[in-house]
Structure 1
């Protein structure tokens, strides 16, 4: 009995600590049209940290326009609600120990009207969903200086990048990666993710791509494969960009790889080089 008591006390203490550190916050609400008062289904609800505008999580409203996001840590946030054809709703909120659950009630979305000759204001919503395409703004994800596109993809919800650089989106293997809608230097997705820097990217689009056969025959065979389109920032679509990495080790071991990319509007030119004596494959086509 004397030996059992300290163990039980330790277990209770450990459980108490784990419970205290677990995310405790949640938000909910209902998204409706301002005029018609009808619910808006599949509106995008995104949560960003207030301090650095980094994306925490997102969800879609259900058929009744309702949404709920759970397991938020204590802290200051901003919620963005977006729906095609409507103005983006933005509101700051905080999760604190004595106010863990927040109910926004009815969130009334106003339609976006554009007059002839009106200046178009850029949409700052971090996520857009249109048909089968999900678009993530790169500014919602913080990466280190000199980070590559694969480092950016690791931070995007629903994406995984393994140690070899293979990419999965929503549980499916990504077969192709496009740059501004064009195949980047062959069919190997890693050529884009490992040779383009994250600071070049404006947004990442995830979509279901038609098969090559369907594109060639222009007959939809119903076959789909997960693909990614990398939209470059406007100022990065013209000029030369590249990087060089080199390393040496014992026993005269060495590794070198480099890339030089030239973009000029619709023109894309890339030169890749790789050399090593450690039996490491650089890339494939």
Structure 2
């Protein structure tokens, strides 16, 4: 009991200390007539121009700035479109403060001059727009660095984006999807100085006809608006490094290029290095080969035919002797006309991995000394190609097609040698496969009237896998015993040479039709009929 009481007291003491280290500022913003101003921006900057806190006034003109550091000096900036900006310096803040502000018209504003002012944050419907320059100081290198400074946004080490705790599904640049919306490639590659505005799209659905029909409350996307100087011409960066390490030349080359215009977008990413850095991870591979192309909720069946991974293994850079990575990716889109748009991407990746383990063991009591050498080499080569089309002749009908081919060429060789008690045992293992997957989908959406909406979504997957395994066991200088205690019934051999060839062919068809009857702004009735047909052949010898 005493122990529990002590823990409670300690927790309360710790919480009180943490609370004492931060303060908050609250208040009300009104205009010269005393009318509360809704949607006024209130920002607290520190001396180094870093953002301390941010708030937006509500319909009563109230705001709050939380988690400000005690004993710090802040500059409060209050802004509202058409009114003179207020700047107030708060020195060495020690406790919670209440600060009210009155905003006046700018006397220097001329009737003949149109002044354009960008609010740091604006909200319109389900879209929150951040002006990136209001939260950055020029030290940011990538998009991820910019997003980390925006209120309510987080970016983890893998490049995943979260807004108010919800994971961002897709990333767009000027309304065009960036590499199928992959947030990791976007946060790690888009230059920070190209970012003008960041739009958070809540209750996201890629099809405007379906918006509000399903449970889209937890679906979020972001759209990056480029600065004016980053449109209609090429921009990018080149990173290069070379040096000497471990008696080998170490290098890295990462050219990147981007082009955006109203009708065409092009993104080119490359990375060549032997520093042990993975340019294209297994998680990213699964993201591009396993995503759902439907726009309705729970589209497609949960039946998994188990294809597409292609035997690619997660690399362990901290345990490898040598890793050489080559990566190239192209993403583009073309607005052919008002009704038709085309998009696609191509991704190439090749990774060579060498591992070596040397072990020496002495078995106590027997005096036996064993020395082992374990060498392995793995090569992962993949190619992903996708072509899509979106046809929307009018507001009531949409047709989408996506076709994708996934190719892999995976080989792995392992050589294990054990020396003990006067003999040498050698085990060689070889694995390889070249899987191929064809993945196609067709989606159609039709709005018959304001209250009647139809959707068809179909997806067909055809995949082949051909894994091969070979193992050779040889005890040099003596006859090899039958392995596995004779359970396999193998004929005596010296050495044993065993191999297995498998072939797996899979087809999967998912198709469904949805009908919505809209009752009112908050309610609708949804009827769904669909089918899932799966066929899989397995052969082994």
Structure 2: how far apart are the matches of 1:196 and 1:245?
14
SS at match of 2:179: coil
Residue 425 of structure 2 corresponds to none
Q: Deviations over 1:202-247 (max 9, x none)?
A: 22222215323x33x4664242521112121111223222234466
Contact 1:31-1:109 within 8 A present in 2 as well: no
C-alpha deviation, 1:166, in angstroms: 1.0
Residue 87 of structure 2 corresponds to 91
Q: Deviations over 1:59-117 (max 9, x none)?
A: 2334432233344233443323345x5526322222326x7454333534659xx9986
C-alpha deviation, 1:197, in angstroms: 0.9
Q: How does 1:216-227 map to 2 (within 5 A)?
A: 217=209, 220-222=212-214, 223-224=216-217, 225-227=219-221
Is 1:30 paired with 2:28? Answer: yes
Residue 259 of structure 2 corresponds to 262
Q: How does 1:127-276 map to 2 (within 5 A)?
A: 127-139=121-133, 140-144=135-139, 147-212=141-206, 214-215=207-208, 217=209, 220-222=212-214, 223-224=216-217, 225-245=219-239, 257-275=254-272
C-alpha deviation, 1:260, in angstroms: 1.4
Is 1:121 paired with 2:116? Answer: yes
C-alpha deviation, 1:44, in angstroms: 3.2
C-alpha deviation, 1:41, in angstroms: 4.1
Residue 58 of structure 1 corresponds to 54
C-alpha deviation, 1:31, in angstroms: 1.9
Give aligned pairs, total: 261
Q: 1:91 to 1:102 in 2, by over 3 A?
A: farther
Structure 1: how far apart are the matches of 2:39 and 2:257?
41
Structure 2: how far apart are the matches of 1:64 and 1:21?
29
Which structure 2 segments of 5+ residues have no match?
1-9, 289-541
Structure 1: how far apart are the matches of 2:273 and 2:191?
22
Structure 1: how far apart are the matches of 2:113 and 2:235?
35
Q: Deviations over 1:14-49 (max 9, x none)?
A: x9xx689823x54332122433x3333454322122
Rg (Cα) greater in structure: 2
Using structure 1 for the length normalisation, give the TM-score: 0.73
Which structure 1 segments of 5+ residues have no match?
1-10
SS at match of 1:190: helix
Contact 1:205-1:229 within 8 A present in 2 as well: yes
Q: 1:88 to 1:230 in 2, by over 3 A?
A: farther
Structure 2: how far apart are the matches of 1:91 and 1:79?
6
Residue 455 of structure 2 corresponds to none
C-alpha deviation, 1:175, in angstroms: 0.9
Using structure 2 for the length normalisation, give the TM-score: 0.41
Q: 1:26 to 1:265 in 2, by over 3 A?
A: same
SS at match of 1:53: coil
SS at match of 1:32: strand
Q: Deviations over 1:95-144 (max 9, x none)?
A: 326x7454333534659xx9986322333x43333333333222222353
SS at match of 1:268: strand
Structure 2: how far apart are the matches of 1:106 and 1:151?
32
Is 1:47 paired with 2:44? Answer: yes
